[in-house]
Amino acid sequence: MTLTLPETLDTAAALRYLGVQGTPDVALSALMKKAEAALREVAAPRAVTLCARREQVERYLIGEDIQRHVAGCSQCVLMAVTLGAELDRAQRAANAADMAYAVVLDALSSVAAEAMADAAEDAMRREFSGRGLFLTGRFSPGYGDYPITVQNELIRLLDAPRRIGLAATPAHLLTPRKSITAVLGAADHPVTGRKAGCAHCALREKCSYRKEGKTCA
């Protein structure tokens, strides 16, 4: 699945990643415009999905949180999204040349990756709706008590290295970096899934949403 970046990116989300509240100053606004131009030039967003009966992937649904999320679902959908290796190269060049710009590029790239995961999820939701099936939201390894070690198995099941150039390192990190893997539940009746919540989140102490009294759910 080839994806296209939206006409506008969620700059407010990027600012949250940067820890900036309110309107950015002139210098930061200029860096954000530069970063977005570079991102649009090199990003090559693609996605791959796989639908399987739940019993076929049950061994990869490790932990109470993911089990709650797919409760009542007879099928599961595995998905992976990446912005491509060229963006990694652009990020390394930025890291070496201008750290302020590099940080902004990283934040905008994270926003773009989330946007592409949303787009892939929306496409699947439309497809499954036509088949009379309902999807939960996505749930990624590393969220709640769903172990990051599952990442490598999802990549293997999706054949992601061959299909979209996405791999996972022995330390379970995705490469290219701006990539997302996730699991969704599918059922013949409306399902929403269940997020793990702040109490179980690995990013609880660093979360900018919590600092503002908000949640990401």
The tens digit of pLDDT for each residue in 22-67 reads: 899 999 999 999 999 999 999 999 999 999 999 999 999 999 999 9
C-beta of residue 200 within 8 angstroms of C-beta of residue 145: yes
Cα(28)–Cα(31) distance, rounded to whole angstroms?
5
pLDDT at 214: 54
Cα(180)–Cα(39) distance, rounded to whole angstroms?
17
Return phi, psi of residue 138, to 5°. Answer: -90, 155
Q: Is the pLDDT of residue 200 over 60?
A: no
Q: Report the candidate in 138, 137, 133, 136 with the shortest Cα–Cα distance to residue 187.
A: 133
C-beta of residue 82 within 8 angstroms of C-beta of residue 165: yes
Banded pLDDT at 198 (limits 50, 70, 90): low
Q: Is the pLDDT of residue 93 over 70?
A: yes
C-beta of residue 153 within 8 angstroms of C-beta of residue 168: no
Alpha carbon 88 to its chain centroid, in Å, reads 16
**Is this model's pTM higher than 0.85 or not?**
yes
Banded pLDDT at 209 (limits 50, 70, 90): low
Please state which of the ranges 1-15, 65-79, 113-127, 199-213 shows the lowest mean pLDDT: 199-213
Q: Is the pLDDT of residue 213 over 80?
A: no
The token pair at 207 is 């979360």
